[in-house]
A and B are shown apart, each in its own frame.
Chain A
């Protein structure tokens, strides 16, 4: 998913499309395009359209009242809180991990990279389960927590922890290949000119990786706000208290309150569309700055 490289628009198209020997007949082209569009329609476009159609089925008034409902608002608030904590923490981690991995050689580096990827391989349900095993009533710290009247599971800290887990690798994964490709010449030059470590980080490294960083943050945020499985295990589904937006959608849907469920879902779908737009913009800037570096 190295998104940034995919936008380097193909020099190839122009060269090959004009050449009859290396292109297909028109009927083949249009059949293939039609097949691809049919596949994308069945699995992408129709679900997206369905969200908004179902949300507005009972009229705009029902739609708006579903969104300004107190439980919906508190779910939105909790979703933002979880993302607001998870994103900065994973951002700092991503920069630290990429600095260590890209700028230095050490034993076990490839193992470390694999371990950072681990949360992607773990089912969201299991991500929630492991925190229940540690902080739940029967868990390692369950007794201690209840003695001190603290709650992690079925409370906000559990939701934040599960969110951090499922979004853990995003920033690091974007930054490691980017910083490895950039090398360390600029940092070494800054050091020779008398910059301190933090000055190098702020003035040299971060400006160089800003697009990759932003890209990682956008992906982290989207996943943080949309996570369902992991959060569902640790949340306890207490209305107005431990419900995030995706959980709120589930509860309404299971109560057969479809219009309200799809209204809440449409907010998340809009968020997803905004994410895709931002992502495309960042990819465009990243490709432009990569081209600018190549030309120098």
Chain B
């Protein structure tokens, strides 16, 4: 990086030019269409579209379920990452590879598979039904679907940090009289906290926009189990393009803020780790 002012490599104009051209064509111009379309609405029309009781109920559901799903993944993802890096048990390598399944499995497939299991006649649903617990076709089903699609994020952000932790610090803590729980809370946890938070945020951001896996298991009752992406689809099917776009813009703005936050977190994360070494 020292000689950045006299870079001799060719292809800068071509590669950057193509990058910006393609980015504009596929991403930036189409996304700007959403904002331009919304600007044709008056402030009142916009407010009616994005703040009607049914839409507000969908925000609460989407964010609430995403938050719970991401929290489950933070706790059990940390546990999974820990078990995969620290312990040996049969089938570990296969299980490690399968953690990425939610990235590879199409969301529609995940949706119908989860519904089959958690429906009242499914493998788990039939165990819960006698106790009066309904999972599929309720908000709990939405949490299950959002937990599934966010599962790899925390595991995959925490795992490399756990692998790179120096054994010496833990040995030092032990020789100074700390027990394992103290070592975990005072030494290990602070080191992995930024990665855990990053994974949590990634899972949360992914869950907010998720559509395919949720609609099968949700039941999609207005005011009860209707997520915001479904509201957009419903408005589109009623040819209410402006209304659909207004709700989309609200979601886009929230997603952009989350993306900036996550980028900041990752920067913090990498700075901490490079300083530790």
Contacts and interface: CB of A to CB of B under 8 A. Distances in A.
A294 B208 CA distance: 41
Given A12-B167, A123-B251, A228-B108, A115 B103 contact: no
A216 interface: no
B229 A229 contact: yes
Given A100-B19, A275-B104, A126 B165 contact: no
B106 A32 contact: no
B256 interface: yes
B8 interface: yes
A19 interface: yes
B27 A168 contact: yes
A253 B112 contact: yes
A172 B174 CA distance: 43
Interface residues of A, number: 115
B109 A265 contact: yes
Nearest to A127: B30
A3 B259 CA distance: 20
Contacts of A84: none
B8 A188 contact: yes
Contacts, number: 318
A287 B80 CA distance: 22
A135 to B, nearest CB: 9
A200 B12 CA distance: 13
Given A112-B19, A121-B255, A219 B212 contact: no
B1 interface: yes
A125 B90 CA distance: 41
A82 interface: no
Given A21-B171, A104-B16, A249-B109, A39 B79 contact: yes
Nearest to B171: A22
Given A118-B259, A225-B106, A229-B229, A126 B251 contact: yes
A97 B19 contact: yes
Interface in A16-45: 16-17, 19, 21-24, 28-29, 32-33, 35-37, 39-40, 42-45
A106 interface: yes
Contact of B105 (A101, A196, A261, A269): A269
28 contacts: A1-B156, A16-B167, A19-B167, A22-B170, A32-B83, A36-B76, A40-B80, A42-B124, A45-B98, A46-B124, A50-B113, A96-B14, A96-B22, A97-B19, A99-B11, A105-B1, A115-B28, A118-B27, A121-B259, A122-B255, A123-B251, A123-B255, A133-B245, A164-B26, A223-B103, A226-B106, A228-B108, A232-B212
Given A1-B152, A103-B7, A122-B209, 6 more contacts: A21-B174, A29-B87, A42-B124, A118-B31, A125-B232, A275-B104
A-B pairs with lowest CB-CB distance, top 10: A123-B209, A226-B106, A228-B212, A197-B10, A21-B174, A229-B211, A47-B113, A272-B104, A130-B30, A100-B16
Interface of B: 1, 4, 7-12, 14-16, 18-20, 22-23, 26-31, 33-34, 37, 76, 79-80, 82-89, 95, 97-110, 112-114, 116-117, 122-124, 144, 147-148, 151-153, 156, 159-160, 163-165, 167, 170-171, 174-175, 180, 183, 205, 208-212, 216, 229, 232-233, 236, 239, 241, 244-245, 248, 251-252, 255-256, 258-260, 263
